[in-house]
Amino acid sequence: MLTALRHPVYRRLFGAQVVALVGTGLATVALGLLAYDLAGPSAGAVLGTALAIKMTAYVLIAPAVGAFADRLPRRALMVGADLVRACVAAALPFVGQVWQVYVLVFLLQSASAVFTPTFQALIPDVLPDERDYTRALSLSRLAYDLESLFSPALAAALLTVLTYDRLFTGTLVGFLGSAALVASAALPRAAPAPPRDAGGHARATAGTRLFLAVPQLRSLLALNLAVAAASAMVTVNSVVYVRDFLGLSAGAVPWALGAYGAGSMAVASALPRVLERIGDRPVMLRGALLLGVVFGALGFITAADEGSWRLPALLSVWAAFGAACSMVLTPAGRLVRRSAPERERTAAFAAQFSLSHACWLLTYPLAGWLGATAGLLWAVASLGGVALGAAVAAVRLWPAPAPDVEVEVEHEHAGLTADHPHVRDAVRVGDGWRHRHGHTPDALHAAHP
């Protein structure tokens, strides 16, 4: 897996991702303490609103990124986003009102919605080899999981010698470090931008329309919903299971979250070899179907009134959730890369970023509201139903045989101009162009050749 780090440009970009993640993790802890200072017992409501604002920014801003990102220098775009995030981090210690938190969170997450899809679309250009790219996706998944474990521990250590507002300094340093690493990397040139004749709305929705047009990307939408149901259950209700259901102290909450991260990391580290043997479709669909089984196990645990076995069982279920989610999320970048024409890749990654977070925007409040008002068992049943229904829909939407199997198909294209990148090596035939290549369903090619 570490072979991808031999590439000097990717090594710098991965370093930028890691230092930015650490900074973000410190900010998450500091924001919780800031919210408590500002709102006291209502801090949970403040953080819940901030989380909703975060998801809303992702859903609204990312499609706009897909519309203009290919027309701007990618280095300048990512460095600018990092500098905006650094400025927000510098301003957070001086906040005195709750509404100021909301404004700064929106600015921070809007900048992240610019940076992340652009970063994700850049990596396939940096690592054109499929095996290297797959390893990079696994490294990225590991980085996210390690951040969720490492940042809280680092924050706890720093808080023994610093006040919480100083944690925002770590966030500032993380974003500045990310900007410096991106600025120092020799980035490849982007593919030619799409023609400018389309209106702004059409460009902003290009990635979403691609997702709706390509079968395996429609399946990815359903897979995103299945993962969102599981991750919302873990993120929102871990503290409820540990404190209220099991009656344990707050110190046991990190064990539950750590079990989820450990399951995800174990699968992410093994996936490069597995994907080389069996491909994306079996791994991703089995991961989604496994989520339904894990929800069933969680329902059995939740229905139990007592028993010392419930804690190890819960940790096992959380680890299984992490493993199944990683089976879906880690190869998702490969699927988007193969399904989108090169010049539409940024729009496709922006759509994946936006649409996946729209799923979380739905499942986060559902997990919290049902757990608080109807009880944990109803939350398990409802979100489990969502996950299972989404997994079944994903299986039906993704055509078999898997589209990632390369099939050389001779075919023609009509309506493309001579300078279109896709027909660069094609032969003119009548009013169209004829050529032969591996078949991948996308906006230019039907689901079945």
Instruction: Kindly report, residue by residue over 14-35, the tens digit of the pLDDT.
Output: 899 889 888 887 887 787 778 7
Mean pLDDT, the chain, rounded, equals 82
User: Assign residue 40 a region: left if phi > 0, alpha if psi is -120 to 50, beta otherwise?
Assistant: left
> pLDDT for 45-63, tens place per residue?
676 677 778 888 888 887 7
With cut-offs at 50, 70 and 90, classify the pLDDT of residue 230: very high
d(CA 5, CA 20): 18
Contact 20, 175 (CB under 8 A): yes
Which of 58-67, 94-103, 347-356 has the weakest average pLDDT?
A: 58-67
* Res 320: pLDDT: 96
pTM (predicted TM-score): 0.75
Beta bridge partners of 413: 433
pLDDT at residue 90, rounded to an integer? 93
Which pLDDT score is estimated for 403?
46
Tokens 């969502």 belong to which residue?
386
List the one residue out of 205, 228, 216 whose CA is nearest residue 357.
228
Coil, helix or strand for 60? helix
The token pair at 148 is 């969720």
The larger pLDDT score, comparing residue 318 to residue 348, is at: 318
Residue 404 has a pLDDT of 45
pLDDT of residue 448: 45
Coil, strand or helix at 167: helix
Percentage of the chain lying above the pLDDT 90 cut: 25
pLDDT tens profile 100-154: 988 998 998 899 888 888 888 888 888 888 788 888 888 887 887 777 667 766 7
Query: Is 447's pLDDT higher than 50?
Result: no
Q: For 286-296, how does the pLDDT look when each residue is reduced to its tens digit (9 = 90+)?
A: 999 999 999 99
Closest CA to 342 of 213, 192, 196, 187: 192
> Which domains does the chain carry?
1-191+199-204 (1.20.1250.20), 205-405 (1.20.1250.20), 408-438 (no CATH)
Question: What local confidence, expressed as pLDDT, does residue 44 receive?
Answer: 58
Percent of the chain with pLDDT over 70: 82
Between helices 43-68 and 98-126, what is the axis angle to 10°?
40
Q: What is the DSSP secondary structure assignment for residue 244, as one 8-state letter?
A: I
What whole-number distance in Å separates Cα of residue 389 and Cα of residue 383?
Answer: 10
* Top-confidence residue, 434 or 216: 216
Q: What is the DSSP letter of 199?
A: -
Token pair for 217: 């990307």
Most confident range (mean pLDDT) of 241-255, 262-276, 399-413 is 262-276
Distance of alpha carbon 2 from alpha carbon 264, whole angstroms: 17
Residue 97 — left, alpha, or beta (φ > 0 → left; ψ -120 to 50 → alpha)?
beta
Tell me what the mean pLDDT of segment 242-249 comes to: 84
Amino acid letter, residue 210: L
Average pLDDT over residues 225-249: 87
pLDDT over 60 at 223, yes or no: yes
List phi, psi (to 5°) of 199: -70, 170
Q: At what angle do helices 280-303 and 215-240 cross, to 10 degrees?
A: 30
| pLDDT for res 202 | 55
Q: Which pLDDT value is given to residue 203?
A: 59
Contact 313, 395 (CB under 8 A): no
Using CA atoms, how far apart are residues 283 and 134, in angstroms rounded to an integer? 13
- CA angle 376/379/381 to nearest 5° reads 110
Pairing of strands 408-414, 432-438: antiparallel
Per-residue pLDDT band at 449 (split at 50, 70, 90): very low
Rounded Cα distance between 54 and 59, Å, is: 9
The average pLDDT across 244-250 equals 82
